[in-house]
């Protein structure tokens, strides 16, 4: 008699309803934001006033709560151990910092500065009083976006692909640490090539608020919680309620 063996060790990984329809929620937020801006433009002005060196404080708070659950998962002792297998680390760093920023700048310039430049005419007055072509502002946004390695979505993609979650966390940690060092000089270099004034205060403050603050908070709170409650409680209780 033939016996059919069923693999019960592999659990199918699925998105929650909220994650599955994330595109819909983003679209609804965009539509809602546009409608709110038209109906009550004073709210946008008030929120824009809550900024320091062009870094929005409300956005900084929201991003902190998005980044903190990721940072608190990172065991930085594993970053040191990752040096024993340098090939994946070196490959990731090379792609993230030597290829991706420059390809982003190249394609942004081709599409926004050449192919579709007639759709975005005019100039823009920057907060420092400088006047630049409008398409260069869009390219500048692409540059700053292209330099930043992804963090939150990397964990989700790795989860769905049944990847090595431990290695993924290590790479997120390494990318976060290198971002503290490389983001500002590389961003300033590419913005200079794009003939845009370099807002050093904005770049440095953005790195400090969006990366350094949740990184430091995650490291010390992880250390404190494990010391007080133990690693098992941290894994089964704290992380479960933090990232349901």
Distance, in Å, from the CA atom of 121 to the CA atom of 180, rounded to the nearest integer, reads: 35
How high is the pLDDT of residue 1? 42
CB 176 within 8 A of CB 215: yes
How high is the pLDDT of residue 7? 44
Q: Tens-of-pLDDT digits for all 244 residues of the chain?
A: 444 444 444 555 566 777 778 789 889 999 998 898 888 888 878 887 888 877 888 888 888 888 888 788 878 777 777 767 778 888 888 988 899 999 999 999 999 989 998 888 888 877 777 788 888 888 988 888 888 877 667 777 777 777 777 777 778 888 888 888 888 888 888 888 888 877 788 888 888 888 888 888 988 999 899 888 888 888 887 877 766 5
3-state SS, residue 5: coil
213-239 as b/e, with b when 16 or more CB fall inside 10 Å? bbbeebbeebeebbeeeeeeebeeebb
pTM comes to 0.72
Give me the residues paired with residue 124 across strands.
132
CB 172 within 8 A of CB 203: no
Domains of the chain, by residue range, sit at 58-242
Distance, in Å, from the CA atom of 108 to the CA atom of 233, rounded to the nearest integer, reads: 47
Interhelix angle 165-193/200-207, nearest 10 degrees: 170
How many other CB atoms are there within 10 angstroms of residue 175's CB atom?
Answer: 21
Token pair of 236 as six digits: 């089964």
Interhelix angle 213-229/57-71, nearest 10 degrees: 40
How high is the pLDDT of residue 5? 41
Distance, in Å, from the CA atom of 192 to the CA atom of 215, rounded to the nearest integer, reads: 29
Distance, in Å, from the CA atom of 153 to the CA atom of 52, rounded to the nearest integer, reads: 27
Write the Ramachandran bin of 54: left for phi over 0, alpha for psi from -120 to 50, otherwise beta.
left
How high is the pLDDT of residue 4? 43
How high is the pLDDT of residue 106? 94
Pick the CATH number of 58-242 from 3.40.630.30, 2.60.40.420, 1.20.1530.20, 3.90.190.20: 1.20.1530.20
């Amino acid at each position: 008699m033939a016996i059919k063996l069923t693999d019960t060790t592999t659990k199918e990984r699925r998105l929650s309803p909220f994650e599955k329809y994330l595109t819909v929620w983003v679209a609804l937020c965009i539509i809602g934001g546009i409608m709110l801006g038209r109906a009550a433009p004073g709210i946008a002005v008030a929120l824009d006033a809550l900024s320091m060196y062009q870094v929005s404080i409300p956005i900084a708070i929201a991003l902190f709560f998005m980044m903190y659950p990721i940072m608190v998962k990172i065991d930085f002792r594993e970053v040191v151990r990752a040096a024993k297998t340098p090939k994946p680390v070196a490959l990731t760093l090379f792609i993230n910092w030597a290829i991706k920023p420059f390809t982003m700048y190249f394609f942004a310039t081709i599409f926004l500065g050449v192919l579709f430049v007639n759709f975005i005419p005019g100039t823009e007055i920057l907060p420092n009083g400088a006047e630049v072509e409008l398409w260069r502002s869009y390219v500048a946004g692409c540059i700053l976006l292209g330099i930043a390695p992804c963090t939150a979505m990397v964990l989700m993609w790795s989860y769905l692909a049944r990847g090595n979650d431990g290695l993924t966390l290590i790479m997120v940690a390494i990318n976060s640490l290198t971002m503290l060092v490389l983001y500002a000089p590389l961003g300033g270099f590419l913005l200079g090539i794009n003939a845009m004034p370099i807002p050093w205060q904005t770049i440095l403050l953005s790195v400090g608020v969006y990366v350094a603050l949740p990184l430091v908070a995650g490291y010390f709170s992880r250390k404190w919680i494990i010391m007080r409650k133990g690693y098992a409680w941290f894994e089964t209780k704290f992380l479960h309620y933090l990232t349901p």
